[in-house]
Structure 1
């Protein structure tokens, strides 16, 4: 399955800045950063649950927002890029 993960984390406090770094780190472990707060993730249903749980346990739901869009398979291959965007290697293993 393909997911588009977007987030907006409050960064006006040191705790918010820490949460932002942690959310980014979690997302980097599951997918490819395509913009500052946007990740493309190719995963299984189980992995989607793990990702969602890790993110939910990290944010402050009163101050932060995460959106996870479930996309049709092949959506990433058909995405149009304008500007300095690069095409992430979704069909290869993610190596950290």
Structure 2
């Protein structure tokens, strides 16, 4: 089952009113950059295995303030990124392989 590849859409809203919130925002962005492609400021497309998803979610959960911040993980059908329609400037071409930096 570890070879199974899935697509996730990660969105986040981190409180940035305080310096601690700004640090959490940078930490969340760095974690997401290590696993996927940024498609908007707080939106990442991630292609990964179930094991990698668990590691990603654990890292994100540890990085946020659960009372102030919000992260949403959408599990998409395989191939959804390639079928996405882009209006305006597209950030990057679709990706099909896991990315872990």
TM (normalized to structure 2)? 0.89
**Separation of aligned partners in 2, 1:10 and 1:64:** 6
- Residues 27 and 49 (structure 1), Cα distance of their counterparts in 2 relative to 1, 3 Å cut: same
**Separation of aligned partners in 2, 1:51 and 1:27:** 8
Instruction: Describe how 1:30-49 pairs up with structure 2 within 5 A.
Output: 30-49=35-54
- Considering fraction of residues, name the structure with more helix: 2
TM (normalized to structure 1)? 0.93
Aligned length: 96
Which sections of structure 1, spanning at least 5 residues, go unmatched?
none
Which sections of structure 2, spanning at least 5 residues, go unmatched?
1-5
Stretches of 4+ moved more than 4 A in 1? Answer: none
